[in-house]
Amino acid sequence: MADKPDGILVLTFGGPEGPDDVMPFLRNVTAGRGVPESRLAIVADQYALFGGRSPINDQSRDLVASLRQELADNKLELPVYWGTRNWQPRLVETIQQMRDDGIRKAFVFTNSAFSSYSGCRQYHEDLERAVTDLKSSLDNRNHAIWAWPRFGFHRPYFNHPGFVEPMAQATMAAVSEHTLVRTGALAPEQVRLVFTAHSLPRPMADACDYEIQLQEAVNLVVDRLGPHRPTQVDIVFQSRSGAPGSPWLEPDILDHLDLIASDSLARSEPRVTPMTLVPIGFTSDHMEVVYDLDIRAANRAKELAIPLTRARTVGSHRLFIKLIRELIEEEVLGAKRLALGTMGPLPAHQGDQHCRAA
């Protein structure tokens, strides 16, 4: 194909590597938003529960290493670079290295399967800003325009089999962790599935297809559970961070747990139906997943006597790494664009009208 990529950029959110990084990292994330230091200190306390270190960087390193091996095994000789939006390795430094290595066009992969401002357009904006900052800080009089890498992003992959299949596998594995399922006292289909995704401000959600894509992904995962398909499936949201009075996507996971326990009590049921949380809106077990689900939601479920398990995200699952390779092959080799369900493979977003902030 003409103008095909000659390099790969894995672009991730980034996270602190230790306690001394936490506050500088949080200031980077919230720069220009007027978030008070007192609020950042509260979030810093959450990181302290994990030694001041986010799991996302180690998970990103594992993904990059796995992708390099996957490309080598399939004779795709493309260098893989890694940059982060908010910490080390800094995106500007990664782009500088790509430029020094002679990369002219890079395929950009992010760990966001769905369309939204924060999960799509903001990555575009951060990349554009990094290139602009580099160009303004260096003397380019002796360099041709093509010396700077150009970038093309992946398409939404919420309905790609390499995302759906490992999510279905993880869901069934988590359902099977329930004691009553293991003893045969409860059929897997009797476990209530609660799919979670990052909440968005309502105006931001209205400006993209986030909710539509999320519902489709949930349907695809549930369909793959076969005879063990549950009769109760919910979609809830987590990790909202806006002002209390502003509308965000609901229900919140903690409110949902409260409601389920209350309904069960009102019906005088002997026990609350076991639940499995499925963080379908995320691709790695990063800080928001482990804090909001493994600590906050798990503690609330314990208080409410709700048996709870949590499915793992796709992480570096072999099918997810294969997904990345297949997305690359679409661009480099013109390979078939794979998608499950009825929405088909959507085009990669570009221009100024997609995934607006509001």
Q: How many helices (H) and strands (E) does the chain have?
A: 13, 8
Q: Is residue 357 part of a domain?
A: no
Q: Is residue 288 part of a domain?
A: yes
pLDDT more than 70, % of the chain: 97
Residue written as token pair 């940059």: 83
Q: Is residue 133 part of a domain?
A: yes
Let me know whether 147 and 246 are in one domain: no
What is the per-residue pLDDT across 210-248, written as a single tens digit (0 to 9) for each?
999 999 999 999 999 998 888 899 999 999 987 777 899
Would residue 268 be called left, alpha or beta, if left means φ above 0 and alpha means ψ between -120 and 50 degrees?
left
Please say if the pLDDT value at position 1 is more than 50: no
Query: What average pLDDT does this structure show over 56-75?
Result: 97
Let me know whether 13 and 151 are in one domain: yes
Please say if the pLDDT value at position 2 is more than 60: no
Let me know whether 14 and 128 are in one domain: yes
Give the number of other Cβ atoms within 10 Å of residue 23's Cβ: 17
Per the structure, the count of domains in the chain is 2
CA 245, CA 256: separation in Å to the nearest integer?
19
**Any idea how long the chain is?**
358
Q: Which residues pair with 153 in a beta bridge?
A: 108
- Helix, strand and coil content of the chain, in percent to the nearest 5, comes to 45, 15, 40
Please say if the pLDDT value at position 142 is more than 70: no
Helix (H/G/I), strand (E/B), else coil: 51 = coil
What is the per-residue pLDDT across 20-35, written as a single tens digit (0 to 9) for each?
999 999 999 888 888 8
CA 258, CA 251: separation in Å to the nearest integer?
11
What is the per-residue pLDDT across 304-333, written as a single tens digit (0 to 9) for each?
999 999 999 999 999 999 999 999 999 999
Let me know whether 115 and 235 are in one domain: no
Could you tell me the residue range of the domain that residue 38 belongs to?
7-156+318-332
Residue written as token pair 């409860």: 186
Let me know whether 132 and 194 are in one domain: no
Helix (H/G/I), strand (E/B), else coil: 310 = strand
CB 47 within 8 A of CB 287: yes
Please say if the pLDDT value at position 173 is more than 50: yes
Q: pLDDT grade, residue 141 (50/70/90)?
A: low
